[in-house]
Amino acid sequence: MSMQQLAALISTVFFAGMIWLRTRAYYTYRLRGRMQLTRAGLLFFAAALALLLLGWFAAPALGELSRSPLLLNATATRVLWDIATYYVFIVAHRLLLQQRVAVFTAVERL
């Protein structure tokens, strides 16, 4: 693995973590106690990981199609894809909230 691929991998893992942390932080202030992932939350994060994985393979090809000097670099296109995915999932989470679909729920104590 080259240094550029390693940098892109670190970016992908970082943004996957940021999607998780940002979404979880929203519920930390609203729920007391332990939280668990809902079915919608599982699908939400599975879609985020799938989109990040898709970007790993598709972003370099899309960068070559654009003919932009910046986007010809596979690392740059992967990082831009990761950033775009992060912002897409901010909007997706807001849309879920508008529909009153929770990503996390409180664990009930017995």
Q: DSSP characters for 61-107?
A: HHHHHHT-TTTTSHHHHHHHHHHHHHHHHHHHHHHHHHTT--SEEEP
Over residues 3-47, the pLDDT tens digits come to: 988 999 999 999 999 999 999 988 887 777 788 999 999 999 999
- pLDDT > 70 in the chain, percent: 96
pTM summary value: 0.87
* 75 half-sphere exposure, CB direction, 13 A CA radius: 11
| Residue 61 in this model has a pLDDT that exceeds 90 | no
Q: Domains of the chain: which residue ranges?
A: 3-106
> Which tokens is 3 given?
């240094």
